[in-house]
Copies of this chain bind each other. A is one copy, B any other.
Amino acid sequence: MQVTIYDIARKANVSIATVSRVLNDQPRVAAKTRERVLEVAADLGYQPHSFAQNLARRQSNLVSVVVPTMASHFFMEVLRGVQDGLAGSGHDILVHLARTPADAAAQLDRALRRGRSAGVLVVSAPPPDAFVERLRRSRAAVVLIDCQRNGFDSIAVDNVGGGEMAVDHLVEVGCRRIALVMASENTAPSRDRRTGYLRAIEKHGLAYDENLVRVCVGPEDGFTESAGYDAMSEILATTPRPDGVFATSDVQAIGALRAIETAGLGVPDDVRVIGYDDIPMLQYAGVSTMRQPMYRIGRLGAARLLAKIDDRNLPIDGSVYAPELVVRSTTVIDEGAWVA
């Protein structure tokens, strides 16, 4: 059978209470006893049973991450950040993948089961109304990542500002008729980026033309290359055609690019293109975009969660990071780039 503190106690001639004290680095133990216990424990290859510990301590060393399945690169980076942010705290990561908004609720539900997780990180999808109460009542600490909601801690990236910056950039390089290829209105980042688009359009005194705006539909909330292609194809049928396009994600931007080329137009000469995310592929495809600090928000989110777990009464804090404009050859002429 497995070795428990009873085995250690017996072999070291002490009580299990003492073993527990030693193992938990508590003060009131004689140096010699401590040493002996430690030695026996190492000898026996003792490993604490975390369920038993958690039960006795009335706490959990698990952290749940609830995340939509789309955007694998984004998620992987965030997850890396989360793991690093949690490192050393003794917490392990429970992952709950949500395919759809409805599924997100189900996954959140799992994550919130009594005693399960010390904390929950909700990524890229603000909790639905029905959960707000539940989340509040829960013993688990909650931190939102890449989304925000009143009353919750969050680490977000400024999607409105990002959308605005992207369009600002297009205007700066000379665009006047700027199209928007956006993902499903179901997703908050997508909606926010549109808000930024609208804000910039207005700010620069450009005319808003609904023919230049397309909402992608389809799987993965429209965050796909083909959705971007379809949307852009439709937009290009408009007269006069746009001279710039902002896509709410990089994969959509790639699709838009293909549509533009298919239509026999050139990038950036006829139409300038900017995406959002900065997935690795984009660097080589030479596509301008808004870079998001994914790893960073994951790491900060985890740190924030640990703080919250430690002290549930910490004031609510919403950090918002600014995305960074990455200029490549789809918005400015740059002969060194790969894609023309």
A51 B54 Cβ-Cβ under 8 A: yes
Q: Nearest chain B CB to A156's CB is how many angstroms away?
A: 21
Q: Nearest chain B CB to A191's CB is how many angstroms away?
A: 24
A-side interface residues, number (CB < 8 Å): 48
B69 A72 Cβ-Cβ under 8 A: no
Asked if A324 lies at the interface with its beta carbon under 8 angstroms from chain B, I say no
In the complex, what residues of B have CB within 8 A of residue A94's CB? 62, 92-95
Q: How far is the CA of A128 from the CA of B50 in the complex (A)?
A: 25
In the complex, what residues of B have CB within 8 A of residue A115's CB? 2, 49-52
Q: Nearest chain B CB to A258's CB is how many angstroms away?
A: 5
Interface of A is mostly: helix
Within 8 A of B (CB), among A204-256: 224-226, 229, 251, 254-255
B50 A113 Cβ-Cβ under 8 A: yes
Q: How far is the CA of A281 from the CA of B97 in the complex (A)?
A: 22
A338 B80 Cβ-Cβ under 8 A: no
Asked if A151 lies at the interface with its beta carbon under 8 angstroms from chain B, I say no
Asked if A116 lies at the interface with its beta carbon under 8 angstroms from chain B, I say yes
In the complex, what residues of B have CB within 8 A of residue A226's CB? 284
Asked if A73 lies at the interface with its beta carbon under 8 angstroms from chain B, I say yes
A83 B97 Cβ-Cβ under 8 A: yes
List A residues at the B interface (Cβ < 8 Å): 2, 47-52, 54-55, 60, 62, 69, 72-73, 75-77, 79-80, 83, 92-97, 99, 110, 113-116, 139, 224-226, 229, 251, 254-255, 258, 261-262, 280-281, 283-284, 338
